[in-house]
Structure 1
Amino acid sequence: MTQRAALLIGGLAHARKEWQACGEIAKLYEYPDGSREDFLSKCKNGDFKDVFALYRSNDSNKITGNFNEELLGALPSTLKYVCHNGAGYDNIDIPACTKRGISVSSTPVAVNDATADVALFLMLGALRRVTPSFLSAKKGDWRGEFRLGHDPKNKVLGILGMGGIGSAVARRAKAFGMEIQYHNRQQLAAKDEEGAKYVSFEELLKTSDVLSLNLSLNASTKHIIAKPQFDMMKDGIIIINTARGPLIDEAALVDALKSGKVWSAGLDVFEEEPKIHPGLLESDNVVLLPHIGTGTFETQRDMELLVLDNLKEAFKNGKLLTQVPEQKPQRANI
Structure 2
Amino acid sequence: MPNDRSALLIGGITHARKEWEQCSALLKLREYPSGSREEFLCKLKDGDYNDVVAVYRSNDSTSVTGPFDKELVQALPSSLRYICHNGAGYDNIDVPACSERGIEISSTPIAVNDATADIAMFLMLGALRRMHISLSNLRKGEWRGRNFALGHDPKDKVLGILGMGGIGQAVAHRARAFGMKIQYHNRKPLPADQAGDAKYVSFDDLLRTSDVISLNLALNPSTRHIISKAQFDMMKDGVVVVNTARGPIIDEAALVDALELGKVYSAGLDVFEEEPKIHAKLVENENVVLLPHVGTATWETQRDMELLVLDNLKSAVQGKGLITPIAEQKKK
TM-score between the two structures when normalised by the length of structure 1: 0.98
* TM-superposed deviation, 1:329: 3.7
* TM-superposed deviation, 1:314: 1.1
Q: Please name the residue that 1:310 is paired with.
A: 312
- Residues 58-67 or 312-321, more deviating: 312-321
Q: Please name the residue that 1:92 is paired with.
A: 93
Q: Deviations over 1:157-204 (max 9, x none)?
A: 000000000000000000000000000010111111111000000000
Tell me if 1:219 matches 2:211: no
Q: Please name the residue that 1:151 is paired with.
A: 153
Matches within 5 A, 1:246-257: 246-257=248-259
Distance 1:236 1:69 in 2: 42
Q: Deviations over 1:67-124 (max 9, x none)?
A: 1121112111000000000000000011110100000000000000000000000000
Distance 1:25 1:198 in 2: 45
Q: Deviations over 1:55-77 (max 9, x none)?
A: 00000011111111211121110
**Which one-letter code corresponds to 1:173 in the other structure?**
A
Which blocks of at least 5 consecutive residues in structure 1 are unaligned? Answer: none
SS of equivalent to 2:318: helix
* TM-superposed deviation, 1:246: 0.2
Q: Please name the residue that 2:47 is paired with.
A: 46
Matches within 5 A, 1:131-142: 131-142=132-143
Q: Deviations over 1:231-282 (max 9, x none)?
A: 0000000000000000000000000000000000000000001000011011
**Which one-letter code corresponds to 1:300 in the other structure?**
Q
**Which one-letter code corresponds to 1:274 in the other structure?**
P
**Which one-letter code corresponds to 2:222 in the other structure?**
S
Q: Please name the residue that 1:230 is paired with.
A: 232
Root-mean-square deviation (CA, aligned residues, Å) is 0.9
Q: Please name the residue that 1:241 is paired with.
A: 243
Q: Please name the residue that 2:280 is paired with.
A: 278
Distance 2:41 2:3 in 1: 23
SS of equivalent to 2:29: strand
Once the two structures are aligned, what percentage of the paired residues are identical? 69
Q: Deviations over 1:36-72 (max 9, x none)?
A: 0000001111111100001000000111111112111
**Which one-letter code corresponds to 2:264 in the other structure?**
V
Quick check: 2:44–2:77 contact (8 Å CA) kept in 1? Answer: yes
Tell me if 1:36 matches 2:40: no
**Which one-letter code corresponds to 2:42 in the other structure?**
S
**Which one-letter code corresponds to 1:202 in the other structure?**
D
**Which one-letter code corresponds to 2:191 in the other structure?**
A
**Which one-letter code corresponds to 1:110 in the other structure?**
A
Tell me if 1:181 matches 2:178: no
Q: Please name the residue that 2:109 is paired with.
A: 108
Quick check: 2:3–2:27 contact (8 Å CA) kept in 1? Answer: no
Q: Please name the residue that 2:67 is paired with.
A: 66
Distance 2:60 2:262 in 1: 36
- Residues 320-329 or 258-267, more deviating: 320-329
Q: Please name the residue that 2:23 is paired with.
A: 22
Runs (4 or more) in structure 1 with deviation over 2 Å come to none
SS of equivalent to 2:57: strand
**Which one-letter code corresponds to 1:279 in the other structure?**
K
TM-score between the two structures when normalised by the length of structure 2: 0.98
Q: Please name the residue that 1:259 is paired with.
A: 261
Distance 1:43 1:320 in 2: 24
* TM-superposed deviation, 1:139: 1.7
Q: Deviations over 1:263-303 (max 9, x none)?
A: 00000000001000011011000000000000000000000
Which blocks of at least 5 consecutive residues in structure 2 are unaligned? Answer: none
Tell me if 1:171 matches 2:160: no
* TM-superposed deviation, 1:210: 0.1
